[in-house]
Amino acid sequence: MPLKTGKKNIGKNIKTEMKAGKPRKQAIAIALSVAKKNKNKKKK
């Protein structure tokens, strides 16, 4: 399942990644990276 972008979905994305078997720190990094991608698209 693809992760959702935006700040509101960071917690949900972390839970999704942890259920997939990723370590906590890695799940947080992935969730923040996805949220940041959305921010970059709006500026362009």
Q: Residue 21 domain-assigned?
A: yes
Number of structural domains (the chain) is 1
Rg (alpha carbons) of the chain, rounded to whole number: 10
Cβ 13 vs Cβ 30: under 8 Å: yes
What backbone torsions phi and psi does residue 6 show, to the nearest 5 degrees? 105, 155
Q: Residue 1 domain-assigned?
A: no
Q: Residue 29 domain-assigned?
A: yes
Q: Residue 17 domain-assigned?
A: yes
CA quadruple 39, 29, 11, 4: dihedral positive or negative?
positive
Q: Residue 27 domain-assigned?
A: yes
At 6, is the pLDDT very low, low, confident or very high (cuts 50, 70, 90)? confident
Taking only the tens place, the pLDDT of each residue in 10-32 is 999 999 999 999 999 999 999 99
Structural domain boundaries, residue 17: 7-43
pTM of the model: 0.78
Q: Residue 39 domain-assigned?
A: yes
Pick 1 or 10 by higher pLDDT. 10
